[in-house]
Amino acid sequence: MTDTGSPRSSALRRRLSQINPVWVLLVLLIAAIIFMNPRFVEPTGYMNFLKRAAPLAILAAGQVYVIVSGGFDLSVGSLITLVVVGSSMLTNNDPAATYWVIPLMLTMGLGVGAINGLIVCFLRVPSLIATLGMMITLNGLAFLWSGGAPRGYLPDTFRFFGRELIRDVPLVRFIPVSVLVLIVVVGVFAWAMHRTNLGRHIHAIGDNPVAARLAGVPVNRVRITAFMISGLSGAIAGILLGGFAGVSTDVGAGYELQAITAAVLGGAQLLGGKGSVPAAFGGALALTAIFTLLNFLGLPQPVRQVVQGLILIAAVALAMHRRKQTGT
């Protein structure tokens, strides 16, 4: 026969084929970045990279919940804008206001997610349309709230999370606060997705909603929870972005598609049933690394969009190909 080979090498091959390709991609991209900029290996290099990737990575970790449950959440980009604009309006340069504005913004994120979920579950609007409508609505709200000209300041207490560093850390010298937030959020999201009943049910309703319902899974409750987690991730990402990007009415624009791209790069199955929070995190890092490389090459912004679009298509095509190979 033609396809011989010792059983050990085929077992090894199988083990290798189970490694999520996003990690291979990420290693290659990081190697390319180091090649072009050797200083990347110093803490200032990679910590700044992680800091820049943090909002997208958190957003992607939340987006995975909705994708695995069988939907999309396009509203998170506008939600970021609304959080940033709303925070600047509410804090009104008062440093003490941060302590109630941040919890309020997190609650708003959960609330927007809950509304998305309710619309999808009870009005039977497909999630793509429901969250597209929410995206436009939230954008409009942000404009209305700020009168089109947002006040350009957020107090330093608010910007602490996006901008500050914790210094004198052994080994790495410093850690940005946003990277700590990133680690905690991705850790908790990964635990909830892969180690709890909630995560199992999100997988089940995305895989086969009819079977899940007939098995007694509270499908609506689980779906709404998935949207709420995505909304929460949008609010957290907004708080970080407000910290280092400042206030504008397009601060969140495009983030929703980047988050979906990152999740799919990490192997999340569009239409639901399969996906991983750590791999979406890897996808977000890979996407940020690609943008970094394009920056080094001096390519203009529109090229980023072209590349991002092609990556999304390529990632889905690759996922379909692997599914055909492993599935029946």
Partner 1 sequence: MTAPMIAMNGITKSFPGVRALSDVSFDVRAGEVQALVGENGAGKSTLIKILSGVYHADAGEVHMNGEAVHFAHPVESLRAGIAVIYQEFSLLPERSVAQNLFLGREPRTRLGLIDTSRMRAEAREVLSLFAAAGHIDPDSLVGSLNVATQQVVEIAKAVSTGARVVVMDEPTAALNETECEELFATVDTLRNRGVAIIYITHRMREIARLADRVTVLKDGEVAASFDTLPSPDAIVRAMVGRDIEDFFAPKAKPDEIGDPVLTVRGAGNDVLRDIDLDIRAGEIVALAGIQGAGRVALAMALFGEAPFATGDVTLAGEAVSFRSARAAIAGGIGLLPGDRKSEGLVLMQSVRDNGMLTSRAFAPLWTSDQRNDNADTTRMDALLDQMEIRAASYEQDIRALSGGNQQKAIVARWLSMRPKLLIFIEPTRGIDVNSKAGIYHLMRDLAREGAGILMISSDLPEVIGVADRVLVMQSGRIVAEFPHDASEQDIMHAATAETEVAA
Q: Which residues bind partner 1 (CB under 8 A)?
A: 1-3, 14, 191-192, 195-198, 200-201, 203-204, 207-208, 210-218, 221-222, 225, 269, 273-274, 326-328
> What is the maximal distance between C-alpha atoms in the chain?
76
Provide the minimum distance between the beta carbon of 228 and partner 1 in the complex, in angstroms, as a whole number: 12
Q: Given the complex with partner 1, which of 2 and 301 has the nearer CB atom?
A: 2
Q: What is the three-class DSSP state of 237? A: helix
Provide the minimum distance between the beta carbon of 202 and partner 1 in the complex, in angstroms, as a whole number: 10
**Residue 66: both structure tokens together:** 């909705």
Q: Given the complex with partner 1, which of 8 and 39 has the nearer CB atom?
A: 8
Q: Identify the residue whose tokens are 């500050």.
A: 164
Provide the minimum distance between the beta carbon of 215 and partner 1 in the complex, in angstroms, as a whole number: 4
Provide the minimum distance between the beta carbon of 69 and partner 1 in the complex, in angstroms, as a whole number: 12
* Main-chain dihedrals φ then ψ at residue 65, nearest 5 degrees: -60, -45
Provide the minimum distance between the beta carbon of 214 and partner 1 in the complex, in angstroms, as a whole number: 5
Nearest to 86 by CA among 103, 101, 107, 66: 101
CB 304, CB 291: distance < 8 Å: yes
Q: Given the complex with partner 1, which of 65 and 291 has the nearer CB atom?
A: 65
Report helix angle 219-245 to 197-207, nearest 10: 110
Q: Given the complex with partner 1, which of 48 and 220 has the nearer CB atom?
A: 220
Cα distance between residue 263 and residue 252, in whole Å: 17
Q: Given the complex with partner 1, which of 27 and 211 has the nearer CB atom?
A: 211
